[in-house]
């Protein structure tokens, strides 16, 4: 088959585009681009288009929009042809009772994959209903019948802003809901937290599951290690300035124009595990730290534990912090994955290379932070 011929099983996609996609996929899931032929072969052998049910709960639709408006249309086209998206309230042509029937038919058959976008309302169930059913009932019943379940974005992974104190609706991520409210001891949910969820992450996780017939290796909070195994700080384009002790002190200062490191104006990259600097958004063109500090949206309870957003990470005082260990810092900021702090970052803190003159209000902000020790 020639490279510019369309694939029989993916009309309008050429063999060249398909292999390119498989190369991207191989790079994302850690096999490297050279695995493209093997991945292509595995996808071609999929017996039939797997059914996917996609629930929208407490969310803003950002994750879906990110997928549908992907700047790499061949990727989106491929995955949308690779699967049978049997139910997605916004995308599907059916509406009302017809949509509900499609949902029921697929779930009753049982041979489907489940994607959840949005948080579950547990304290005020009526705050999130679809076709008269609460998000709790839908999520519990659908999870039990699915072959595998993926929580896309920060809302489905951990509740996101909806779960910020005082959390009036009792918003929770899917896994926490299943464990704490639905009586499922060890739910297997692949979490892919970022806000919004990244289209290529979604496609990579789903493709990994389809190709390998199992979920990928997950970290302690259910995130695929192949995507979330590294700190943002360790891949950041501003890292050289961090190493050189060159920091933005105030937004808009000369250091901002020189694109120096954003640690002192609140960047949470040193305590956030996520692929943002490498995967990026909008056709790999942009990501948060290109414009401002990371707020740590891939980490649990970031809205409470990593605030104030524009202050340096709580309880980490740049100058004179010699002797701090990753565990101490992790306890201070109260996030489970802080033990993943890069050894280099700890070295920088311990040796005071973050520079002199940390903001005087830092101690105050640390005391006032909602994060604290957990």
Q: Which residues bind ligand SF4 (CB under 6 A)?
A: 194-195, 232-233, 236, 238-239, 242, 261-263, 267, 269-270, 272, 274, 276, 287-289, 294-298
Catalytic residue among 22, 88, 241, 297: 297
CA 310/CA 295 separation, integer angstroms: 8
Concerning whether 22 is annotated as a catalytic residue, the answer is no
* 333 close to 301: Cβ distance less than 8 angstroms: no
Concerning whether 261 is annotated as a catalytic residue, the answer is yes
* Nearest approach, Cβ of residue 21 and ligand SF4 (Å): 23
* Nearest approach, Cβ of residue 90 and ligand SF4 (Å): 22
Concerning whether 60 is annotated as a catalytic residue, the answer is yes
Q: Which is nearer to ligand SF4, 20 or 264 (CB)?
A: 264
Q: Whats the size of the chain, residue-wise?
A: 374
| CA-based nearest residue to 345, from 363, 311, 321 | 321
Q: Which is nearer to ligand SF4, 208 or 263 (CB)?
A: 263
Residue nearest to ligand SF4 (CB): 269
Concerning whether 236 is annotated as a catalytic residue, the answer is yes
Catalytic residue among 236, 241, 284, 344: 236
Which residues lie below 8 Å from residue 86, measured CB to CB, with a gap of 6+? Answer: 51, 52, 53, 92, 102, 103, 105, 106, 112
CA 293/CA 44 separation, integer angstroms: 42
Is the peptide bond prior to 173 cis by the omega test (within 30 degrees of 0)? Answer: no
Q: Which is nearer to ligand SF4, 106 or 160 (CB)?
A: 160
* Nearest approach, Cβ of residue 242 and ligand SF4 (Å): 4
Q: Which is nearer to ligand SF4, 122 or 315 (CB)?
A: 315
State the alpha helices, DSSP H only, in 49-91: 62-68, 73-82
* Nearest approach, Cβ of residue 231 and ligand SF4 (Å): 8
Is the peptide bond prior to 196 cis by the omega test (within 30 degrees of 0)? Answer: yes
Active site residues: 60, 63, 155, 195, 233, 236, 261, 267, 276, 288, 294, 297
């Amino acid at each position: 088959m020639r490279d510019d011929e369309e694939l029989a099983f993916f009309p309008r996609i050429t063999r060249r585009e398909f292999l390119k996609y498989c190369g991207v996929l191989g790079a994302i899931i850690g096999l490297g681009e050279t695995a493209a032929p093997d991945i292509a072969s595995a996808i071609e052998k999929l017996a039939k288009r797997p059914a996917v049910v996609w629930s929208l709960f407490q969310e803003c639709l950002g994750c879906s929009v990110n997928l549908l408006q992907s700047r790499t249309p061949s990727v989106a086209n491929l995955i949308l042809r690779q699967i049978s998206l049997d139910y997605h309230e916004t995308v599907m042509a059916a509406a009302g009772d017809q949509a509900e029937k499609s949902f029921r038919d697929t779930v009753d058959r049982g041979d489907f994959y489940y994607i959840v976008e949005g948080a579950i309302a547990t304290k005020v169930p009526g705050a999130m209903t679809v076709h008269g059913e609460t998000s709790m009932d839908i999520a519990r019943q659908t999870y039990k019948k699915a072959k595998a379940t993926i929580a896309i974005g920060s809302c489905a992974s951990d509740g996101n802003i909806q779960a910020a104190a005082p959390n009036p609706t009792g918003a929770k991520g899917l896994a926490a809901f299943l464990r704490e409210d639905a009586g499922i001891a060890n739910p297997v949910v692949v979490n892919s937290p970022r806000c919004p969820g990244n289209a290529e992450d979604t496609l990579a996780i789903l493709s990994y599951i389809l190709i390998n017939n199992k979920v990928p290796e997950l970290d302690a909070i259910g995130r695929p290690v192949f995507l979330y195994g590294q700190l943002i700080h360790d891949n950041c384009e501003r890292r050289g300035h961090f190493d050189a002790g060159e920091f933005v002190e105030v937004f808009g200062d000369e250091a901002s124009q020189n694109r120096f490191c954003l640690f002192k104006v609140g960047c949470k990259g040193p305590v956030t595990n996520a692929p943002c600097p490498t995967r990026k958004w909008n056709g790999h063109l942009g990501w948060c730290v290109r414009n401002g500090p990371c707020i740590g949206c891939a980490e649990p309870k970031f809205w409470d534990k990593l605030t104030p957003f524009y202050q340096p990470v709580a309880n980490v005082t740049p100058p004179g912090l010699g002797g701090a260990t990753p565990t101490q810092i992790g306890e201070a900021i109260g996030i489970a994955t802080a033990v993943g702090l890069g050894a280099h970052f700890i070295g920088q803190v311990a040796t005071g290379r973050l520079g002199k003159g940390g903001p005087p209000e830092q101690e105050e902000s640390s005391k006032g932070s909602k994060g604290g020790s957990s």
